[in-house]
Structure 1
Amino acid sequence: MISPRVGTPRQLAAFVCTVAALAAVPLGWFGAQTVRPDCVVAISGLADSNGHARPDADGRAWTETELVDRAYQQAVEQGRCEPPRARWEQWLD
């Protein structure tokens, strides 16, 4: 019986390099994403009986996400939290 040939060492090396390059692209994209370090912030907001946000004195109704973002930004400005950074920088810690 004749065994099937896998390929030459050069073809195998080319295949391995191609697979490694294709794996590096999503890993690089994932590592380049901006993330927030762990930081605890407190928020408060008013809602009506249906759970809809009530407007503030300026007439703007803030969503919970906006309140969290605003509280986090204030904490960064006051030095209580670290600013956002690339995910790969956290891997080095």
Structure 2
Amino acid sequence: MDDYQPLACDLYDYLEIACMHHYQLDIELIDGTRLQGKALTTETIASQGEFLLVRTADGEQRLRMDRLLAITPQDAGASFARVLLSGSRC
């Protein structure tokens, strides 16, 4: 597995906000995959990195944060629009 590259702190805040409000997200991964999921929480796993936990139609999925390209909330009145995450590392 590649070495984990942490997100810039200001971008991490968007993930925390999404989880706090349980936003339904359109999630784009750097490999071109797209999925829809409800933001549940973030977690850190020692020696593996930081993850966004989402609930999709297929159940809960753990997405490594440095594999995220962008997130876009689908909820009316969300406090932010599409956020580009890839290429913005600490």
Counting helix residues as a fraction of each chain, which structure ranks higher? 1
TM over 0.5: no
**TM-score between the two structures when normalised by the length of structure 2:** 0.22
Counting strand residues as a fraction of each chain, which structure ranks higher? 2
Which of the pair has more CA radius of gyration?
1
